[in-house]
Chains A and B, each alone.
Chain A
Amino acid sequence: MSQPEFGWDEEERALLSSAELDAPPPGAQNRTLAALGITGAALSTAATAGTAKAALSTGKSFGLGKLLTVLAIGGTAGGAALHYRAQIDAQEAPASRASAATRAAAPTTTVTPAKVAAPATDGEQTTAPAPEALVAIAKPSAPASAHSEPDIALEIAALDRARRAAESGNFSAALDELNEYDRAYKQGRLRPEALLLRIQTLISKGDSAGAKALGTRFLARYPKSPLSPRIQKLIGATN
């Protein structure tokens, strides 16, 4: 275990640090539990004493909706708390190692019982669903759909992949990526940008008719959109 520190350069460190964006969407753990047929009662039994119970108690006292908001924010911050590995690489200090191991082994213990009471679909519900409702609303195959910060980062990454594919001339792959984006983010915040990218890709691919049809639909529906002038220009150029 005496390997010297690996000298990542700045670019490499930036790439590795970008993995901080990886975090389960809110409710993912709930959906997994519900998919297993496990409801609130079992969670109460499994919850460890201390902070978990305190979290539930706190939820009762000032409203579950607010608690869920706090937990969602905490989860995001926790994901962003990933520190770059090289900074501790050389030391392998017992304390930091213990911390890393604890994080990997039990990342969410303190918040899970309350999270299980969260609605699986979004954060707007303010009353806790009945335990059996957890199963009813959970979809084993439910993709990330809530508008959380991790989601927007994932949306950005998805569009980046599509853009890269288009820029490299692989238009079919770009359209595949856009199809996947549309499927995964039905309420995505970047859907208009995805549409613009799709139109650009169709034009590049030589499908002017398809691009024009799509752009025309957009302009008819959203004539005052900030994207409309660009789309107008794009499909105008196909004439």
Chain B
Amino acid sequence: MNGAAPALDPTEPVSSASAEGPLVPAELHPRVTRMVQAHHDFIWRLLRRLGVASADTDDATQRVFMIAARRVADIAVGSERSFLFGTALRVAPETIRSAQRQAPLDEEALERRDSSPGPEELTAQSRARAVLEEILTAMPLELRTVLVLFELEQLTKTEVAELLELPVGTAVSRLRRAREDFRARLSRRNARLGRRQDDVSA
């Protein structure tokens, strides 16, 4: 989707330094630092909104920047965001696929904070966020991406088109389809829940 993004090596190490030396040569530290400062939160939100689990988003973000740091000498000045975006689009599905979902229940699970809200008191916004995630995750990646960039990241259509390396008209068309897809999925979800509610009431 984005020509600036590199092909990923699945065996890409994630440590900060290798036996051969540091990940980022000292002379490139200022540039890489600026890149992280400028784009870290955008990439973090993007990964999260593309469906990476909250617990894995830090890891995935670090991986994106590690890949970029290794290639920083090859990234044209001013193209950092495009490169990071393309990399994130590749890292997100990998992370989702490889997410480990096994963890033992330990004694810490018994810790409690008496004043904490119960599950029944969870906020409406958090419930809405969960529904949003459910719908976004079900959407095709290309539609999900354009919806996230425009509706959630609030980029302009021109910016979206640039990031996706598409003509503006194509990006706008994709956005229209994304909105329709989002609406259709929400309608189907509501209808499904409504039927279930009717079944319970009957």
Are A and B co-members of a single complex?
yes
A110 to B154, CA, bound (A): 21
The segment out of A26-34, A66-74, A122-130 that lies at the interface is A26-34
Which A143-185 residues sit within 8 Å CB-CB of chain B? 143-144, 153-154, 156-161, 163-164, 176, 178-180, 182-185
Which B38-60 residues sit within 8 Å CB-CB of chain A? 38-42, 44-45, 48-49, 53-59
CB–CB A42/B33 < 8 A: yes
A199 to B175, CA, bound (A): 43
CB–CB B114/A225 < 8 A: yes
CB–CB A42/B129 < 8 A: no
A109 at the interface (CB under 8 A from B): yes
Q: Mark A17-45, 1 if CB is under 8 A from B, else 0.
A: 11111111100110111111110011101
B110 at the interface (CB under 8 A from A): yes
User: Which residues from chain A contact B49 at a C-beta distance below 8 Å?
Assistant: 19, 22
B195 at the interface (CB under 8 A from A): no
A90 at the interface (CB under 8 A from B): no
Q: Interface range on chain B: under 10, 10 to 19, 20 to 34, or 35 or more?
A: 35 or more
A18 to B49, CA, bound (A): 11
User: Which residues from chain A contact B158 at a C-beta distance below 8 Å?
Assistant: 1
Q: Interface range on chain A: under 10, 10 to 19, 20 to 34, or 35 or more?
A: 35 or more
Contact residue among B16, B122, B176 (Cβ-Cβ distance under 8 Å from A159): B122
CB–CB B156/A101 < 8 A: yes
User: Which residues from chain A contact B69 at a C-beta distance below 8 Å?
Assistant: 36
Question: Which residue on A lies nearest to B39, using beta carbons?
Answer: A105
Contact residue among A16, A83, A186, A193 (Cβ-Cβ distance under 8 Å from B108): A186
CB–CB B156/A184 < 8 A: no
User: Which residues from chain B contact A186 at a C-beta distance below 8 Å?
Assistant: 108
Contacts A38-B29, A179-B105, A184-B55 given; does A3 touch B44 at CB 8 Å:
no
Q: Which of B49, B66, B106, B128 has the most CB of A within 10 A?
A: B128
CB–CB A154/B54 < 8 A: yes
- Which secondary structure characterizes the binding site on chain B? helix
Q: Which of A16, A23, A135 has the most CB of B within 10 A?
A: A16
Q: Mark B75-119, 1 if CB is under 8 A from A, else 0.
A: 000000100000000000000000101111110111111101111
A226 at the interface (CB under 8 A from B): yes
User: Which residues from chain A contact B38 at a C-beta distance below 8 Å?
Assistant: 105-109
User: Which residues from chain A contact B125 at a C-beta distance below 8 Å?
Assistant: 14, 17-18, 20-21, 153
Contact residue among B33, B41, B56 (Cβ-Cβ distance under 8 Å from A33): B33
CB–CB A15/B119 < 8 A: no
The minimal Cβ–Cβ distance linking B113 to chain A, given in whole angstroms, is 5
- Which secondary structure characterizes the binding site on chain A? helix
CB–CB A24/B157 < 8 A: no
The minimal Cβ–Cβ distance linking A118 to chain B, given in whole angstroms, is 14
A160 to B126, CA, bound (A): 8
Question: Which residue on B lies nearest to A184, using beta carbons?
Answer: B55
Given pairs A1-B168, A182-B103, 18 additional interface contacts (CB within 8 A): A6-B179, A15-B132, A18-B126, A18-B128, A23-B44, A25-B58, A35-B15, A36-B32, A36-B36, A46-B31, A105-B38, A105-B42, A108-B41, A112-B36, A157-B130, A160-B119, A164-B134, A191-B112
- A-to-B contact residues, CB < 8 Å: 1, 3, 6, 8, 11-12, 14-25, 28-29, 31-38, 41-43, 45-46, 82-83, 85, 88, 92, 97, 100-101, 103-109, 112, 135, 138, 140-144, 153-154, 156-161, 163-164, 176, 178-180, 182-187, 189-198, 214, 217-218, 221-222, 225-227
- B-to-A contact residues, CB < 8 Å: 14-17, 22-24, 26, 29-34, 36-42, 44-45, 48-49, 53-59, 61-62, 65-66, 69, 81, 99, 101-106, 108-114, 116-119, 122-135, 150-159, 168, 172, 175-176, 179, 182-183, 186
List the 4 closest pairs (A to B, CB-CB), nearest first: A184-B55, A42-B29, A183-B103, A192-B112
